[in-house]
Structures are given as C-alpha cells and as structure tokens.
Structure 1
Amino acid sequence: MQRSSWPWRIFKALCLTAISLFFLFPILWVLLMSFQTNADILRVPPSPFFTPTLANYKALIAGELTGAGSTLQIAYMKNILNSFVLSACSVLLSLLLGVPAAYAFARYRFRLGENIAFTLLSFRFAPPLLVLLPLLLYFQELGLYDTYIGLIWVYQLITLPLILWIVRGYFEDVSPDIEHAYRIDGHSWLRSFLKIAVPLARPGIAAAALLAFIFAWNNFVFALILGSSDVQPVTVGALAFITASGIQYGQIAAGLVLSVIPTFVLALVMQRYLVEGLSLGAVKG
C-alpha cells in the first residue's frame, strides 16, 4: 500500500488533530472560562454547557474587579499598555545596540572578544535576585525608580544578550564575500552593513526580536521591585485578582486572554519574516 493513499492521509490527519488538541486544550479551556461566571466554573460536577457572558471582559475594561459583594478598582488595561511600552521600547533599544554588536562579534576577531560576548550572555543567566538590591539602591539615588526609563534600562539584561547571541549566529552564516564584492564597487562599510548584512540576516533579527519581546513581556521580578502601580506591567498587575473576598476565576481567565493577544498578534505580523530563508550560498568558493 502506498503511503499517499487516502487511508494513510486520514490516519495522519487524525494523529495531527489529536496532537494539536492535546497541546491547545489548556488554551481552549482558559478561553471558555473567560466567558463563564464563577458559579459555572466551580459547578460540581463540571458541565461543558453554559450561557456565555462578556461580564468578565467588561469588568476588566472598566477597571472594576467584582467580588463577593465588593468591587475593587484595578487598572488592568493600563498594565497591558505598560507591558507593551516597556517590552517594545526595550526590544527597539536592544536592536539598536545588539545588531551592530552582533555584526562586530561575527565579523571581527579582537582581544577578549569572546570573553566580552560571554560576559554579556552571563547577564541573561544570572538570577534577577542577585542584582535587585543594588539596582534598587541605584535607582532610588538616580531618580529612576518607578519610571519607564529605569525599567527599560534594566530590561536590557533580558533582551540585549538574547538578541546579541542569536543575531550573531545569523551574521556568521552570511558569506563575507558578498559584502566584500559590494565594497569593491565603492560603497562604505556602513552602507554594506545596512544594505547587505542586515537584509540577509533579517529572519534572524525578526526571530530574536520576537523572542526578546516575549521574554520582556513575561518578566515579573524586575517590575515588581523597581516599579509601582504607575508603570507595573500586566504580570505584576495580575496580582490584583487575588483578594480577600475570593478569587474570580472567570476574570482571571479573561485577563489571561487579553494579556496573550499582543504577543499573538505580533507573532502573526512577523510570521512572513520568520519563515523567510536566508539568501546564503550566493558566492561559491
């Protein structure tokens, strides 16, 4: 029997469907919870049938967390905006600093170059609690505590090493002969970097930027200690859901769905860059 026959295709389709449902089931479950009341979620025995409601989303957008006979004012939508501003600005700054640095580490060999690159990477591995206390003291002295600039600066410990090392690998895969041929025509180093190296490494830069954005978006400890409610991201703002009056699971699920939307949309927008192949091997030795 040929594997291209219809029974084999049906079998593959069923297997892929089962695997997809297995991994997507938690996301689907949270999505369904966001349209249920607390009574529906805690019903025993649980039932897949319920009357959908938008009350959880309305409460979050209005900034009112309803509990057992009480209402708590929260700024969850502002927390989402804070997360987007902090993550986007941190990634942009890391791209401005990390892409040229990655190109330098990939193209040039200089004394202590590998040691410097590994030191930058070690910042990513270091536990945040190791540097939080001195950072807190410095931020209070410099007036950076509870500011966007301060958090964007400290987020470089997360995003910059990631972008530097990922993009460096892509630059190393780009043949330097292409750039040399471009420079022979009289173009400068900067022009060859912008017109040749960066476009060829664009898929790697896009992948590194997306991963750095996700890591910055998910950061919790730095924002918890170095910022107050004015600049706190969504990861810290989610603590407001746990109150003395009880836990509103439906509103927590709605908050999870809203917090995932920005990264999901960003991944869809950058998808075409992530699947682009590098134009390598244009010059044969």
Structure 2
Amino acid sequence: MDRSNPVTKILRGLALLAIGLFFLFPLFWVALMSFQTNEQILRIPPSIVFEPTLSNYWALISGRLVSTAGVLEIKFMGNLWNSVFLSTTSVALALILGVPAAYAFARFRFRLSEDIAFTLLSFRFAPPLLVLLPLSLYFQDIGLTDTYVGLIWVYQLIALPLILWIVRGYFEDISPDIEHAYRIDGHSWWKTFTKIALPLARPGIAAAALLSFIFCWNNFIFALILASAGKQPVTVGALAFVTASGIQYGQIAAAVILSILPTLLLALYAQRYLVEGLSLGAVKG
C-alpha cells in the first residue's frame, strides 16, 4: 500500500482517531462527571447535556464535603501534597543511588554482579502483600510506622529497580571508547562519569525517573497499611469519599482529574526523553 496516497493517509488518520477516542473516552467521561452532582451522574439514561458545577472541586480545595449526613472534613489537598512530596523525594533518592549503581553494573564486571542486579530487580516481582506484614512489624520496632522516612524507604522497592535496570541498559548502549578517550587525557573515573556518561545518558535517566515517579504516585497498598491519614497519598485519600451516606461520585471524579494532572504535565514535559530513552536504552537485552 502506497503510504503517500491521500486515501491511505485519511484512513490512517481515521484509524488513529478511533483508537485515541476508544482509550481516552473513560477519561473524558470522568472529566464530565467531575462537573456534575451525584443526582446528575446517577440519572438513567445518562446524558452529556447538563448544567456544570464547580462544587466538587470546591469541596476538595476547601476540605469540606457536604453530603446527606452533614458536613464532612476531608484532607484531599493534604493527600495531594503527600503524593507530590513522597514521589518526588523517593525518585530523587533512587536516582542518587541507582544511577551510579547502573553505571557500575554496565561498565565493570565483578563477582556476582548479575546476581546482585537480578536480586534488585526481583523486588519488582514480589507482590506488595508478601512483604507488608514483616515490613509493618519491622517498622513498629524501629519507629518508622506513620513517617515520611519510612514511606520513602519503602518506595525504593518501586523506584530503585526500575531506575537501575533502565539506566543500566542505556549506559551499555553508549560506546565505552568515548570514555576511554576522555580518560587518556588524565581525567578521573568520577569526572568521566559526570562529564561524559551522565550527559549522554540523560534521555534514559529522564525516562527512568518519569516511569518511577508514575509508579510511586500510583502506589496504594504500602501507604494504606504503613501510614495514617495525615501521611497518606492521594490514592489512599480518595477512600474518604466512600461514606456511610453513599459514594460521592462527583468528588471522586474531581479527585481523579486533580490527581492525574501532576503526572500528566510531567509526562508532557518529558515525553521526548521518554520515547528516546525507552527506544535506545530500556529495550537492550
């Protein structure tokens, strides 16, 4: 089929549009729900014609949810800040630990290197429920239950393996001859790492950081068990909208829209790094 044919271009565009609408329709419907009251959402048949309201967003921002049971105090904005703080800090710490480790695994061969790397990766294989009980008991003994430090530590189980393996593959794609030439001029290993390897691996590091941030942001079970309401992220804070008087669908929809905005903006900003980093580094076997 001739790709330059106008008919082919139109058909390809229609196919892409249909696929895009299919995958984006749930998000579009949630966005509509965020501007409706519970009565409008639950009416049968549903309709996209309604009088929009900002009451759902105002309830989240003000922290006061009006329901049939009265006025409920909610801490959604605090939960949103917790998500930003926990995810950002966890990814930053994972980058500090994981990028040099990824470089070491990519450039140096030492005893049990592959076993150690695979062990770190295996942390991603284990279901969270498998480690929750020993973690909760351990955290109670050392006083890390319901603390930011404890949650950030646990989040390393999510972020560190991703960063280590994605960035390692990217470092392996960079020719070591460039670094050898720089070393011949008398520069140290550390300077070679910071001046040559890191700039060349920037797209892969950005891709790994973005994916790790998304996984940390979406985490639910660790924060549910290991933290109280004051430290919990937005994924757990959304449970506050399931009350004895019913489920506040409008507030849940507004919470979904607000909670995906940070990751969406970050993904749009780093999308070129994400595509380049995954295509060049993460697919290396």
Q: TM-score, normalised by structure 2?
A: 0.94
Deviation at 1:170, TM superposition (A): 0.4
In the alignment, which residue of structure 1 is the partner of 2:236?
Answer: 236
In the alignment, which residue of structure 1 is the partner of 2:13?
Answer: 13
Which secondary structure state, in structure 2, belongs to the residue aligned with residue 66 of structure 1? strand
In the alignment, which residue of structure 2 is the partner of 1:200?
Answer: 200
1:131-210 counterparts in 2 under 5 A?
131-210=131-210
Bigger mean CA deviation after superposition, 202-211 or 138-147: 138-147
- 1:258 corresponds to 2:258: yes
1:1-285 counterparts in 2 under 5 A?
3-276=3-276
In the alignment, which residue of structure 1 is the partner of 2:283?
Answer: none
CA-to-partner distance for each residue in 1:61-118, whole Å, 9 max, x for gaps?
0111222242211100110100110010000000000000001011111111111111
Which secondary structure state, in structure 1, belongs to the residue aligned with residue 123 of structure 2? helix
Deviation at 1:238, TM superposition (A): 0.8
Deviation at 1:272, TM superposition (A): 3.7
Give the letter aligned to residue 269 of structure 2.
V
Bigger mean CA deviation after superposition, 92-101 or 60-69: 60-69
C-alpha distance 72-99 of structure 1, shift in aligned 2 (>3 A): same
CA-to-partner distance for each residue in 1:194-219, whole Å, 9 max, x for gaps?
11111111111111101100111111
In 2, distance between residues paired with 1:133 and 1:275? 38
Q: RMSD value over aligned CA atoms? A: 1.6
Deviation at 1:40, TM superposition (A): 1.0
Which secondary structure state, in structure 2, belongs to the residue aligned with residue 80 of structure 1? helix
Deviation at 1:274, TM superposition (A): 2.8
Give the letter aligned to residue 240 of structure 1.
A
Unpaired stretches in structure 1, ≥5 consecutive residues:
281-285
CA-to-partner distance for each residue in 1:211-259, whole Å, 9 max, x for gaps?
1001111111111111101110011111111111011111110000000
In 2, distance between residues paired with 1:70 and 1:153? 39
Deviation at 1:6, TM superposition (A): 2.8
Deviation at 1:38, TM superposition (A): 0.9
Q: Is the 8 A contact 2:206 2:277 kept in 1?
A: no
Q: TM-score, normalised by structure 1?
A: 0.94
Unpaired stretches in structure 2, ≥5 consecutive residues:
281-285
Q: Is the 8 A contact 1:56 1:254 kept in 2?
A: yes
In 2, distance between residues paired with 1:276 and 1:187? 29
Q: Percent identity?
A: 73
Give the letter aligned to residue 263 of structure 2.
T
Q: Is the 8 A contact 1:70 1:245 kept in 2?
A: no
In 1, distance between residues paired with 2:14 and 2:130? 48
Give the letter aligned to residue 42 of structure 1.
L
Q: Is the 8 A contact 1:79 1:231 kept in 2?
A: yes
Q: Is the 8 A contact 1:144 1:150 kept in 2?
A: yes
Deviation at 1:23, TM superposition (A): 0.8
Give the paired residue count: 279
C-alpha distance 2-189 of structure 1, shift in aligned 2 (>3 A): closer
C-alpha distance 110-7 of structure 1, shift in aligned 2 (>3 A): same
Which secondary structure state, in structure 2, belongs to the residue aligned with residue 109 of structure 1? coil
Which secondary structure state, in structure 2, belongs to the residue aligned with residue 72 of structure 1? strand
In 2, distance between residues paired with 1:42 and 1:190? 61
Which secondary structure state, in structure 2, belongs to the residue aligned with residue 125 of structure 1? coil
Deviation at 1:124, TM superposition (A): 1.3
Give the letter aligned to residue 263 of structure 1.
T
Which secondary structure state, in structure 2, belongs to the residue aligned with residue 124 of structure 1? coil
Q: Is the 8 A contact 1:91 1:159 kept in 2?
A: yes
In 1, distance between residues paired with 2:62 and 2:133? 36
